[in-house]
Amino acid sequence: MQEFKPFKEGKVREVYDNGESLIIVATDRISAFDNILKNKITDKGAILTQMSKFWFDFTSDVVSNHMLSVDTKDMPEFFQQERFDGNSMMCKKLEMLPIECIVRGYITGSGWASYQENGTVCGIKLPEGLVESDKLPEPIYTPSTKADLGDHDENISFEQSVEVLEKIYPEKGREYAEKIRDYTIALYKKCAEYALSKGIIIADTKFEFGLDENGEVVIGDEMLTPDSSRFWPLEGYKPGQGQPSFDKQFVRDWLKANPDNDFLLPDEVVTKTVDKYKEAYELLTGKEFTR
């Protein structure tokens, strides 16, 4: 049997090279305040992988995606182990475009900080009088470039995204930049509206796109998980203040209340957090999560 080693380990996911395809494995690791916690959140990886699958299916009429299968039976024998069951997605290998496609429907985080300073978010002028966590009149597209390891991603304007792509793909930069912007907005609108009807606000999110073997723009990476997005509970939503995170609320609250913690959560906080991931999955998909 062929052995596999991840060629890439992000904070939370592992990526395996399988020739024409990749196998992206979401682990049960969780990060909060930019640190990986010592606990494993049981089933988090599987829940997030199944959530991405749901969104890829839900939006396949808007844009093609890289998903090939989430069934390990379709993958090499090595992946037919329990630790890969449910949390692995076999994906078409793409040539990734080096732009993080961020879309914001609500004003929060760094966007809120910048708006308070000068009324703009990433160079986009917003109406006066917005309060923290307000819904924006229209979702805004605020791309960034993927920084090298350790650096923070850098916000760029739409025109800069054209230049970045033009350098790599002469004559094609504007076309690709426009496509990924338009897909990003269309995907966000469709999915945020749906999520809202299920009781979840998707305040913002990040998509990644790549080119397939025919040079078509395809969506890759993960899609609309709480790791790539801000999910807020609709219940209790109140502009004028920060909102609790749908999934990490208990983790963050506990870490803040226990500043001398060693990034090791009590079992009770872990259990409550697992339940929040399940709840998000069940609200969005209408299906019970089972392994």
Ligand X SMILES: Nc1ncnc2c1ncn2[C@@H]1O[C@H](COP(=O)(O)OP(=O)(O)OP(=O)(O)O)[C@@H](O)[C@H]1O
Q: Is 32 in the site for ligand X (CB under 6 A)?
A: no
Nearer to ligand X, 13 or 276 (CB): 13
Using rule CB under 6 A, residue 13 touches ligand X:
yes
Number of neighbouring beta carbons within 10 Å of residue 137: 9
Q: Which of 81, 84, 109, 69 is nearest to 28 (CA)?
A: 84
| Residue number with CB closer to ligand X (8 or 38) | 8
Using CB under 6 A as the binding rule, the residues of this chain from 56 to 75 that contact ligand X are: 66
Check binding of 8 to ligand X (CB under 6 A). yes
Strands 88-92 and 67-69: antiparallel
Say whether residue 53 binds ligand X (CB under 6 A): no
| Residues of this chain, 202-231, that bind ligand X according to CB under 6 A | 208, 210, 220-221
Q: Which of residues 169-198 bind ligand X (CB under 6 A)?
A: none
Residue closest to 189 by CA, chosen among 173, 208, 174, 204: 204
In the complex, the smallest distance separating the C-beta of residue 132 from ligand X, rounded to whole angstroms, is 25
Is residue 12 part of the contact set for ligand X (CB under 6 A)? yes
Total chain residues near ligand X (CB under 6 A):
17
Q: Which residues pair with 104 in a beta bridge?
A: 140, 204
Residue 44 lies near ligand X (rule: CB under 6 A) = no
Is the C-alpha dihedral spanning 183, 72, 12, 53 positive or negative?
A: positive
Nearest to 121 by CA among 134, 145, 140, 135: 140
Out of 32, 62, 96, 234, the only residue in the binding site for ligand X (CB under 6 A) is: 96
Cβ-based nearer residue to ligand X, 76 or 199: 76
94 near ligand X (CB under 6 A): yes
Cβ within 8 Å of residue 159, ≥6 positions away: none
Q: Which stretch binds ligand X (CB under 6 A): 6-14, 47-55, 105-113, 250-258?
A: 6-14
Judged by the rule CB under 6 A, the positions of this chain that interact with ligand X are 8, 10-13, 15, 22, 66, 91-94, 96, 208, 210, 220-221
